[in-house]
């Protein structure tokens, strides 16, 4: 009951964090986890398919499924045109393979049938135009694909080109809400918009990855390790877990 009351009180009292508070949180996470050794890889379609495979599984199973898919089908055209049963068999280690195999093929078909507005590219599966396009155009294009929403879109743009569209998964959303960065009860759309607003352009990837690491290692959904948390004194939710 006490935890519920504290949570309700925090929801009513929530205010957007100041830039100074956001920077102090970012700096403490940076001190704890360092700068991620990640550079934009410029392979947006690879990232799109990898993100689909990541849903409802862990990184290891995702990577196994992706490698098996690429070994079985060296080109994305091959994945698109293959019998669904063969794609499903290749990605089975990643879980819910029937759903994911259909979604992957639906995405590849949609890209082929509905390329970027006003263009007839030689290769409709080439998404390299996104590097120079506006965030709004790229986001709208990706979100129009079957089963693709803001988190997947943000992963594609951030990890492929370093574009400031910050993914909010369950870990980032949980940590951000407990720290008061995000409004309790906010929709996924609102959470993504707010994280984009809070993140510095040259630190969006770093902030996302370190919030994710913190959620996985310390700020567990049920049993957060508050005694080990570098943000303990800054966390409005800490009293809920005493």
50 and 153 in a single domain? The answer is yes
**pLDDT reading at 141 higher than 80:** yes
Domain count along the chain: 2
CB 153 within 8 A of CB 143: yes
Listed residue (124, 144, 192, 147) closest to 49, CA to CA: 147
122 and 70 in a single domain? The answer is yes
Backbone angles phi, psi at 16, to 5 degrees: -55, 140
59 and 149 in a single domain? The answer is yes
Domain C-terminal end among 113, 137, 161: 161
Task: For the chain, state the CA radius of gyration.
Answer: 20
Q: Characterise 185 by phi-psi region: left (phi > 0), alpha (psi -120 to 50), beta (else).
A: left
127 and 183 in a single domain? The answer is no
Confidence class for position 118, pLDDT limits 50, 70, 90: low
Both structure tokens of 171:
């870990």
Q: Characterise 105 by phi-psi region: left (phi > 0), alpha (psi -120 to 50), beta (else).
A: alpha
Instruction: Give the pLDDT score at 200.
Output: 87
pTM value?
A: 0.87
115 and 18 in a single domain? The answer is no
d(CA 83, CA 102) in angstroms, rounded, equals 10
Instruction: Give the pLDDT score at 127.
Output: 95
For 229, the 3-state DSSP assignment is: coil
57 and 33 in a single domain? The answer is no
**pLDDT reading at 122 higher than 60:** yes
110 and 63 in a single domain? The answer is yes
220 and 233 in a single domain? The answer is yes
Domain residues for the domain of 195 are: 2-37+165-241
90 and 137 in a single domain? The answer is yes
Domain C-terminal end among 142, 161, 180: 161
105 and 54 in a single domain? The answer is yes
91 and 32 in a single domain? The answer is no
CATH (domain of 70): 1.10.340.30
Domain C-terminal end among 141, 161, 181: 161
89 and 157 in a single domain? The answer is yes
CATH (domain of 215): 1.10.1670.10
Which tens digits make up the pLDDT trace of 75-111?
999 999 999 999 999 999 999 999 999 999 999 999 9
Instruction: Give the pLDDT score at 11.
Output: 52
């Amino acid at each position: 009951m006490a935890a519920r009351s504290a949570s309700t009180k925090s929801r009513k009292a929530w205010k957007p964090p100041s830039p100074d508070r956001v920077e102090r949180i970012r700096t403490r996470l940076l001190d704890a986890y360092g700068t991620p050794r990640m550079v934009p890889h410029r392979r947006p379609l690879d990232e799109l398919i990898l993100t689909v495979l990541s849903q409802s599984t862990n990184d290891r199973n995702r990577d196994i499924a992706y490698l098996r898919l690429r070994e079985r089908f060296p080109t994305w055209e091959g994945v698109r045109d293959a019998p669904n049963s063969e794609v499903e068999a290749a990605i089975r280690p990643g879980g819910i393979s029937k759903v994911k195999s259909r979604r992957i093929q639906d995405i590849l078909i949609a890209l082929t049938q509905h390329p970027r507005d006003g263009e007839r590219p030689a290769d409709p599966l080439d998404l390299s135009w996104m590097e120079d396009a506006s965030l709004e155009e790229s986001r709208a294009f990706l979100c129009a694909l079957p089963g693709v929403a803001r988190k997947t879109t943000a992963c594609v743009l951030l990890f492929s080109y370093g574009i400031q569209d910050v993914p909010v998964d369950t870990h980032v959303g949980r940590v951000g809400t407990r720290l008061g960065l995000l409004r309790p009860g906010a929709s996924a759309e609102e959470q993504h918009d707010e994280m984009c607003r809070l993140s510095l352009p040259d630190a969006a990837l770093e902030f996302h990855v370190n919030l994710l690491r913190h959620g996985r290692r310390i700020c567990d959904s049920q049993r957060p390790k508050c005694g080990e948390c570098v943000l303990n004194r800054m966390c409005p939710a800490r009293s809920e877990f005493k």
